[in-house]
Amino acid sequence: MTALIIEDEQPAARRLARLLADADSTILIGPVLESVTEAVTYLQTSAHPDLLFSDIQLSDGLSFEVFRQVEPRCPIIFTTAYDEYAVQAFKLNSLDYLLKPIVPRELEAALTKFRKTIGPAAPSALDYGQLVQALNQSQRTYRQRFLVSYRDMYRAIPTREVAYFYSENKITRLVCPDNKWFPIPETLEELVDQLDPRLFFRASRQCIVGIESITAIHKHFNGRLKLDLTPSAPEEVFISRDRAEALKVWLNQ
């Protein structure tokens, strides 16, 4: 099986190549193509691979332009850092996709799906306009601040100054680095959609942690991890075995 990677960020390309090698040592990976121009030239003059991995935002435009100019004769798995709004468009177009940072088990699941449904892709049937529109809509601004009640006044707390959010007895607490906390009306589920995923991680059903609040990560039983936070959380914060790999990838960006 042969695979080709279209990716303009070398660290991301190397990571994907490494994950592919770990998942299946028989996969032969061709050259990494870093731009729309380079990808078009290669696909026009070289044999197409069995499977194509393509980032979306390249140095000279969106990778969709590649597939407008050259009809790929293989399935495409898009890799994207865009959020769930864009992902819905991929689902509607029957595309496979991987959200960055790529988690090994999700890559393995995509490869398994590919093997079960091997066959030529049908890129001409894709609505690229819909994909571009969804991508543009997904580039939204994340929550910048929270207005909280403080004594007999209000206080605006920048999101970057939040240590973590903790839910207890149906009350969501916004916790600051100095251990002061304020009740806010949002649930953790609502906050996940409002917070920048590069800065905050849903650690458990009770806690969303800010990256600056994590002071130590301990290995625990059955593949779980335990987080030390500053300030300390009301209860110990554990990462489930299923979420442990995602946490490592998040911290290693």
**Strand 164-168 vs strand 171-175: parallel, antiparallel, or unpaired?**
antiparallel
CATH of the domain at 131: 3.40.50.2300
pLDDT at residue 119 is higher than 70 = no
Question: Does 121 share its domain with 6?
Answer: yes
What's the mean per-residue pLDDT of the chain?
85
Segment 230-241 shows an average pLDDT of 94
**Pair of tokens at residue 202:** 């849903």
Cα–Cα distance measured from residue 17 to residue 5, given in angstroms and rounded to the nearest whole number: 8
Q: What is the span of the domain harbouring residue 200?
A: 145-251
Q: Which residue has the higher pLDDT, 87 or 174?
A: 174
- The H-or-E segment that residue 79 falls in is strand 76-80
Segment 16-28 shows an average pLDDT of 94
Is the CB of residue 211 less than 8 Å from the CB of residue 176? no
pLDDT at residue 3 is higher than 90 = yes
Q: Which of 76-80, 128-132, 199-203, 229-233 is predicted least confidently?
A: 128-132
Is the CB of residue 130 less than 8 Å from the CB of residue 91? no
Segment 231-237 shows an average pLDDT of 95
Segment 147-167 shows an average pLDDT of 94
Residue where a domain terminates, one of 113, 138, 163: 138
The predicted pLDDT at position 65 comes to: 84
Percent of the chain predicted with pLDDT > 90 = 53
Question: Does 131 share its domain with 161?
Answer: no
Which residues on neighbouring strands pair with residue 112, listed in sequence order? none
Q: Which residue has the higher pLDDT, 105 or 91?
A: 105
Segment 116-125 shows an average pLDDT of 54
Question: Does 53 share its domain with 126?
Answer: yes
The predicted pLDDT at position 45 comes to: 95
pTM of the model: 0.54
Q: Alpha-carbon dihedral of residues 3, 110, 88, 143, nearest 10 degrees? A: -90
Question: Does 36 share its domain with 128?
Answer: yes
Question: Does 126 share its domain with 9?
Answer: yes
Residue 121 banded pLDDT, cuts 50, 70, 90: very low
